[in-house]
Amino acid sequence: MKILYVASEAAPFCKTGGLADVAGSLPPALAANGDDVAVILPLYDMVGQQWREQMTFRGNIYVDLAWRHEYCGLFSLEYQGVTWYFVDNERYFCRGQLYGEGDDGERFAFFSRAVVALLPMLDWMPDVINCNDWQSALVPIYLKDEATRWEEIRGIGTVLTIHNIEYQGIFGDYTVCDLFGLDYGWFADGTLEMGGCVNLLKGAMMCVDHVNTVSPTYAQQLHNSFYAHGMENIVDLCDGKMSGVLNGLDVVSFDPSVDGAIAANYTADDVSGKAVCKAELQRLVGLKEDPDVPVIAMVSRLVSHKGVDLVCEVLDGIMDTGAQLVVLGKGDYVYEEFFKHAEQRYGGQMSAQIAYSDKLSRQIYSGADLFLMPSKSEPCGLSQMIAMRYGAVPIVRQTGGLADTVRSCQLGQEDGNGYVFANYNAYDMLYTINQAVALYRYNSEDFRKVQQRGMTDDFSWGASARSYRDIYASIVGE
Ligand code: GLC
């Protein structure tokens, strides 16, 4: 089968979040199963020189978006069994950042239009196109639109993966014709229309053969208005063609036995190196160097849906447990300021690292004993899986992918790999943190067992890649 994966970011080329991890590791896993797989991405200015040196220029075309007529170059390189295509237009993609520009709608409409227009220039015509989130949601719409005139693309199956339903690509109705270059009928018939605006995610949900999201629990939760951000009725409509497939992890990159970014390597059988990592972490981030004090870590965007409010609410209570806390991440100003202030109040016990750093995150996963992730909603979440692989026992709220990856050990469950609380309530969270800290302090043997189960759980892409393959096969009738 020939699979084209369309994403607005993919590691290791360009990354802002979890989508990049998935787009960087699912396609190679699909290719390893024997299919032809290609990924197509925008060629942002932050795609590094080491990759550019490996690229081949494949040619160029001009792409029309309503009255715009834009240059569009195509480059490609081979990496991990996959062909990676890059769409070049410096005006749109050399902005110093991936998103957050005033014309994001235009930039990603251009990208989506380009993906369809470039199909004849790829090595093969795909059987299936898998787009991701609102940035490539126009791909299945343009495909359907073009298919009325272009027979060769009529049979291409389409899948939309939703990584976070909060971001929908909402624009004024004038954009249908003037920006996206579509007939107004696409809006008038309700395909693109939602509450009087254009909603690209909805449009794709209506048009694709299959919708999936990144964990089974989140797929169920999306029928509920608490999680659906206004999309619950559309999710209900899609029920017959919707599923949840848990993300895997790049277990080669995230492997404490070989990771070069951490102070010492270790395995599930011999975690002695973790003590070295802990001492190094405490030194690095200004925590008191003490091997016996449990270190709790958070590596997270500092935004409300990550549950940061709960931590702010009971920070003093967390400090009262005697544990240390290190927070790494950037986000909303109020949270950044809160944690900086907390660091002042609890010098040596609390460290606020207001930054985005892959290296420091690995040093934190390897040095921490416990990992806190109290998300209000969590489509899948990758950090809890990374934490477990690095032997940091997770404390999570039971939602989305967290519920699908962390098994409670609280009531003596034999197979528990972490701590779970159900209600979105700061004191429930604090109670659970206390339980985890107590296990660490007073029952190191059982703590070790919980840690070891997390370290040996299978988070690789194998099973999930097969589920994606089954979805593709079902829609192309293979
Ligand atoms: C988004 C979600 C996160 C998920 C990631 C990859 O970032 O918020 O939960 O793990 O996408 O699918």
Residue with tokens 């932050």: 46
Contact 2, 82 (CB under 8 A): no
Q: How confident is the model over 18-24, as a mean pLDDT?
A: 96
Per the CB < 8 A criterion, the answer to whether 40 and 85 are in contact is yes
Calculate helix-pair angle for 462-476, 18-32, nearest 10 degrees.
70
Least confident of 24-33, 125-134, 411-420, 464-473: 411-420
Give the nearest ligand 1 atom to 379 CA: 9
Q: 423-477, pLDDT tens digit by residue? A: 999 999 999 999 999 999 999 999 999 999 999 999 999 999 999 999 999 999 8
pLDDT over 90 percentage in the chain? 98
Q: How far apart are CA 95 and CA 109, in angstroms?
A: 16
- Ligand 1 centroid–CA 11 distance in Å is 14
State which ligand 1 atom lies nearest to the alpha carbon of 375: 9
Give how far Cα 354 sits from Cα of 184, 283, 314, 361, 373, Å: 45, 17, 20, 12, 17
Work out the percent of the chain whose per-residue pLDDT is above 70.
100
pLDDT at 413 over 90: no
DSSP string computed for 389-417: HTTPEEEEES-HHHHHH--B-TT--TT--
Give this prediction's pTM: 0.94
- Copy the structure tokens of residue 149: 């005139």
CA-closest candidate to residue 235, choices 221, 247, 246: 221
Report pLDDT digits (tens) over 183-194: 999 999 999 999
Neighbours of 286 (CB within 10 A): 14
Residues 128/143, Cβ–Cβ less than 8 Å: no
First and final CA of the chain: distance in angstroms?
Answer: 9
Average pLDDT on 243-260 reads 96
Count the alpha carbons within 13 Å of 318 in the hemisphere toward its beta carbon.
Answer: 29
Ranges of H-type helices in 294-412: 308-313, 315-320, 333-345, 358-367, 383-389, 400-405
Query: For residue 279, what are its two tokens?
Result: 């001492």
Q: With a 6 A CB cut-off, is 246 part of the ligand 1 pocket? A: no
Is there an atom of ligand 1 within 6 Å of 238 CB?
no
Q: How confident is the model at residue 411 (pLDDT cuts 50, 70, 90)?
A: confident
Residue 329 Cα to ligand 1 middle (Å)? 15
**C-alpha span between 304 and 311 (Å, rounded):** 11
Render pLDDT for 96-129 as a digit per residue (tens, 0 to 9): 999 999 999 999 999 999 999 999 999 999 999 9
Q: Distance between CA atoms of 264 and 346, rounded to whole angstroms?
A: 28
Does the beta carbon of 162 sit less than 6 angstroms from any atom of ligand 1?
Answer: no
**Whole-angstrom distance, CA of residue 214 vs CA of residue 7:** 15
Instruction: Output the pLDDT for position 3.
Output: 98
Sign of CA dihedral 380, 386, 387, 393: positive
Phi then psi for residue 302, to 5 deg, are -90, 75
CA of 430 to the centre of ligand 1 (A): 25
Which one-letter amino acid corresponds to residue 285?
A: V
155, pLDDT greater than 90: yes
Which tokens in the block code for residue 27? 């396609």
**Ligand 1 centre and the CA of 213: distance in Å?**
9
| Binding site membership of 380 for ligand 1 (Cβ less than 6 Å) | yes
- 155: CA distance to ligand 1 center in Å? 30
Judge if the beta carbon of residue 379 lies within 6 A of ligand 1: yes
Ligand 1 center to 270 CA (angstroms): 31
pLDDT confidence of residue 478? 80
State how far the Cα of 286 lies from the Cα of 328, in Å rounded to an integer: 13
Ligand 1 pocket member 247 (CB < 6 A): yes
- Burial of 288 from C-beta contacts in 10 A (0-12 / 13-18 / 19+): exposed
| Residue 412 pLDDT > 80 | no
Which atom of ligand 1 lies nearest, measured to the CA of 382? 10
Q: Report the candidate in 436, 439, 273, 451 with the shortest Cα–Cα distance to residue 363.
A: 273
What is the mean pLDDT of the segment spanning 171-194?
Answer: 97
Q: Is 19 in the pocket of ligand 1 (CB under 6 A)?
A: yes
Nearest-CA residue for atom 10 of ligand 1: 381
- pLDDT tens per residue across span 232-245: 999 999 999 999 99
Report how far Cα 107 is from the mean position of its chain's Cα atoms: 21
d(C-alpha 268, C-alpha 453), whole Å: 9
